[in-house]
Amino acid sequence: MSESLILLFSIILLILGIIGTFLPILPGLLLSLCGLLIYKFGGNSDLSMWWIWIFSVLTIISVVLNYVIPAKTNRKYGGTRYGSIGSFVGTILGIIFIPIPFGFLIGMFAGVFLGELFHDFSDKKKAFNSMKGAFIGFLYGTFFNFLVGLAMLIVVITDII
């Protein structure tokens, strides 16, 4: 495969990965990491292996944080352990049983809300605040993913120039 096609393919994957940080139908940082790896190993790149290791670790951290941050911010906004557990379980169930692009988000909100209602059925305001905390956590995670994906693209473009 020619050097320019490898370069084009890796840049496309990096850009799709950045888009995937907002669109849950795309695997986000995993696409960006694949683009980075193809750029490094598919062509004649002088990119340091340190970048590969740094972005691999950040991608793994990101995958974990995408599940942990909404549960933690849920608690910051008055949620209980029930809401945090509901957030995690709802996200997983949303991915599996709601096969639309934002199914995981619907599952997360439903899980937080139901978890809080399970804890205290009479306090619906607390359940809504807990959902707000989970949403803010989701935004934090999305922003982190976007920054890591953008950094990968910048590193590759800088290496090209």
Calpha distance 29→102 (Å, rounded): 17
Average pLDDT, the chain: 87
Higher local confidence (pLDDT), 56 or 26: 56
Calpha distance 38→156 (Å, rounded): 11
- Convert 41-105 into a string of H (helix), E (strand) and C (coil): HHCCCCCCHHHHHHHHHHHHHHHHHHHHHHHHHHHHCCCCHHHHHHHHHHHHHHHHHCCCCCHHH
Span 114-120, average pLDDT: 89
Residue 24, classed as helix, strand or coil, is coil
30-84 residue pLDDT tens: 999 999 999 999 878 888 999 999 999 999 999 888 777 877 787 788 888 888 8
Helix axes 103-119, 124-160, angle to 10 degrees: 150
Span 130-156, average pLDDT: 90
pTM over 0.75: yes
Residue 37, classed as helix, strand or coil, is helix
Helix axes 49-76, 81-97, angle to 10 degrees: 120
